Structure 1
């Protein structure tokens, strides 16, 4: 054999391409590429949609965590913090009161917070008893004042000081937060009133003979 040129396959032999080529009649290789491209596009769209949802969820979680939180309302004040009791003046002794009784008025005010109920009013001396008008329990709203008439009755003169230095009233208060017993010192006017009333009821000694009551200021 002579000459230079490409070798031709012999009889019974075939030359196979290592890469598939597109058939000009069937077009099988382009169809495969089209299916692969379609699957890739679908997968890409799904991943983009998933990423978008993840971003939205992350952003929503951040906004939820960063939102300004509503502060709880402050607790109601203790009743003793908002209630004032002051001596007002002497009052006429009510009709029907027992001998050796005397009356005076106090002014109770509630500055703020929920309504306050006065459940009890007492005083420290064993020889005295008292009643209030209005009778306990009574309720007072914030921003309002209530005048209370207190009538005391001398039970035993021997258990009483004739000169009350710093007399006080114990007032039991209740509101939505707590129940408290608070002592209110009513000042020098009330001390003078109480001392004069006790001297009028018992005399200048500790005898138990009754004296007529009178209206004091």
Structure 2
């Protein structure tokens, strides 16, 4: 009888349904990946994938640069219910000529209420085609243009023209005076002849 009771109890225990194990949400991947290098500036987003569906309204992702205080970014679901996407487009731009260490801190809650928290880091590195930092290039002083000597002016001095004009005027004055003297001499000669003839006529009478 006792053996039968033990056997029945054993069968009951073996057939009793066991409670399901508590599901645990784990991070599957993160983009940008841990330790990766992103060239030229911020990526547009960070994507976190988990093993369970995530409720973005009960989750948070913050981003810090070079050890500064973290900035919380807007969240949304990705292509799957197990993905959460953080929008990085509104973050302040960083100097593209130097490295910057970025730390992603997340705390998410799965659809069944299980929280998961963790961190991941990546580096923003200069792009190979980034322009050099202002002031780094050497300053080149433009060469002075050669000075062409100005040839001396060939214009005759104004005094020469004035002298020539004065000489011409003096010549005309002298010629006028000579003509006047000659005319006076002719008139005097004719007057003398007339008077001489008149005297001779009176003497004959």
Q: State if a TM-score over 0.5 links the two structures.
A: no
Q: TM tier, shorter chain?
A: 0.3 to 0.5
